[in-house]
Structure 1
Amino acid sequence: MSVDARHLRAFLAIAEEGGFSSAAAVLRVSQPAPSRTLRQLETHLGATLFDRSTHHVAITAAGEALRPRAAAAIAALDAALDPAETPVRPLLLGYPWSALGRRTGPLLRRWRELHPDTPVELRRMDDRFGGLTSGRADVALVRGDPPVTGGPARMRQRELAEEPRFAVLPADHVLAGRGEVRLADLSPEVVVVNVLTGLTRLDLWPARIRPTHTVATDNTDDWLLAISSGRGIGVSGISTAETYQHPGVVYRPLVDAPPVTVSLAWLEPVSHAALPEFVKFMVDQVPRDLGSE
């Protein structure tokens, strides 16, 4: 039996939706069809792509390895068959919660001046690798101690910059009137964390002054809402402070917290011809300290 794009689309739908019924709805096919198509693909590859032994469909290591290649193949096929597609596909730049703050716009304008025939399209994705591993981005801005771990073996990274951390406080918080705060000032607080993409964990604090409670959210909007409604405080980088102005929160420099490292990440082989030049451009143009003037 031959395997074609239909099998890859079914596989990707199951991976994105986390189940066969919802995948069938997205694909607009009968409910048994995705399961049958997946079995055919697994037989062809000689590998199990999803674990069906639990109440939820869980992707296997073999499935994770296939996912970015399948997504890239389908994206390339769709682009090739789309009569409205521009001659040069945009370079897709993903990011989990903030790109590069106030510097993002000027950087992209400068790229457009130097490379007018290769547009860059920003995509916010609520996963820690900015859509890179799902094939929805060609390159992504990632944050964390370099190298950022947890991605596929084919992921490559280039460190760009560091950004200072800020405390994110409800606007009526007792600390909101200060010019700066320290980790010890936040010790009694409940910490609101973004469990999908955020970096802040309780071990940011020394053990003797470590907060004891957290509130979990899974996207930036809910994270801001939890803080503005007084459920706790947050910690993030300066790019967040510059990107997400909210009437219910204030940002104050967290002067004794270590900075956040910002890197570019991509998969080998590259999925866009302009990616090497874009990486070089970003290394040349992005200042080492995102908190500098």
Structure 2
Amino acid sequence: MTVELRHLRAFLAIAAEGTITRAAARLHVTQPALSRTLRQLETHLGVRLIDRSTHHLRLTAAGHAFRPRAAAAVTAVDDALDPARAGTWPLRIGHAWSALGDHTTPLLRLWKQEDPDTPVQLLRVDDRLAGLEHGTVDVAVIRGEADLPAEVDTLLLLFEPRVAAVAADSPLTRKARLTLHDLVAEPIAVNTIAGTATLDLWPADDAPNSTVEVANTDDWIAAIAAGHAVGVTTTATAATYPNPAVTYLPLIDVPAVPVRLAWKQPPSHPAVPDLVNLARRLLLGERTRSRAAAGIPSPP
């Protein structure tokens, strides 16, 4: 049997909807036809992708592993057949939050100046790899450590200092800067999808007692603004998400966060190498100017 695109779409619809009934309605096919398509795909792969033993279908371990590959394949085919992309198509830059902070606008303006014929789309994707694994974007901004596939290349751009985010009326704002210990009495807002701050930042004998889990930066900001929690983030968030109800304060006893560009090999867009080189030039130039202003010699 030859696997066709419909087999992958069928699997992805079932995985997304959680039931054959809803997936069949989404794809406008009958339930028996959709079940047959799924069985054909599983037979071809020689593994069970979906556990049908429960009322709500669940992905097996093989199904979880196959899902991003199937999504990437479908996205690649859709992109290749998109009439709007027959000529020059947008270069998609993904980020889970804050893009490149203060560096975002200079990068986009310089790109428009140097390559005006290739449009850029900046996409926020609430995902640890900012859509790169699923093929939603061509280049991703990755903060902190991430489990990257073998085919992904990266470029370290900078290290972002950490800051604490607290409600503007919090007693903590009386201090000019904070330590991790200053936050232990408060619930910690943790972005479980793409955040870089977990309770592992704190020593085991001096850790907060509770967390407020959120799935994106908007909910993270809202929890802090309401006084339900405090947060730990980077200076990019303070620059990108100013909020009169939230105060950002330097956090002095925790390491800075590495920020990388990541892209697949081979690149999914011909302009990816140009963007990587532009980011390297821009960020390296800014670091050199910062060192010179501070009287620090440039490295040999």
Pairwise same-fold verdict (TM > 0.5)? yes
Give 5+ residue unaligned stretches, structure 1.
Answer: none
| % identity of equivalent residues | 50
2:250 to 225, 250, 253: 253
Residues 24 and 94 of structure 1, relative CA distance in 2, 3 Å threshold: farther
Q: How does 1:1-293 map to 2 (within 5 A)?
A: 1-53=1-53, 55-58=56-59, 60-61=61-62, 64-65=65-66, 67-68=68-69, 70-85=70-85, 87-145=87-145, 148-149=146-147, 151-287=148-284
Rate the CA distance shift 1:233–1:63 in 2: closer, same or farther, 3 A. Answer: closer
Q: Deviations over 1:34-67 (max 9, x none)?
A: 4332222222233333344554422534653563
Q: Flag the 1:66–1:193 CA change in 2: closer, same or farther, 3 A.
A: closer
Measured on the aligned residues, the alpha-carbon RMSD in Å equals 2.5
Q: Secondary structure at the match of 2:85?
A: coil
Q: What is the TM-score normalised by the length of structure 1?
A: 0.87
Amino acid at match of 2:101: G
The answer on whether the counterparts of 2:12 and 2:67 sit within 8 Å (CA) in structure 1 is no
Give the whole-Å Cα distance in 2 for the aligned partners of 1:72 and 1:190.
37
Shift of 1:86: 5.7
Deviates more, 1:48-57 or 1:211-220: 48-57
Kindly indicate whether the alpha-carbon contact (under 8 Å) linking 1:8 and 1:74 is maintained by their aligned counterparts in 2: yes
What is the TM-score when the length of structure 2 is the normalising length? 0.85
Separation of aligned partners in 2, 1:258 and 1:47: 43
Conserved? CA contact 1:140–1:265, under 8 Å: yes
Q: Is the 8 A contact 2:76 2:135 kept in 1?
A: no
Whole-angstrom distance in 1 between the partners of 2:231 and 2:110: 33
Conserved 8 A contact 1:24-1:34 = yes
* Separation of aligned partners in 2, 1:89 and 1:18: 34
Deviation at 1:285, TM superposition (A): 1.6
8 Å contact kept, 1:50–1:63? no
Give the residue type in structure 2 aligned to 1:232: A
Deviates more, 1:236-245 or 1:110-119: 110-119
Residues in 1 aligned to 2:180 and 2:276: alpha-carbon distance in whole angstroms: 35
Q: Which moved more, 1:20-29 or 1:35-44?
A: 20-29
Partner Cα distance (1:19, 1:97) in 2: 32
Shift of 1:13: 2.7
SS class of match (1:193): strand
Quick one: structure 1 residues 254 and 213, their matched pair in 2 at CA, closer, same or farther if it must change by over 3 Å? same
Q: Which has the larger radius of gyration?
A: 2
Report the CA distance between 1:283 and its aligned residue: 2.2
Once residues 48 and 274 of structure 1 are traced to their aligned partners in structure 2, the CA distance between those partners, rounded to angstroms, is: 39
Higher normalized helix content (fraction of residues): 2
* Distance 1:278-1:216 versus aligned 2 partners, 3 A rule: same
CA contact (8 A) 1:72 1:271 kept: no
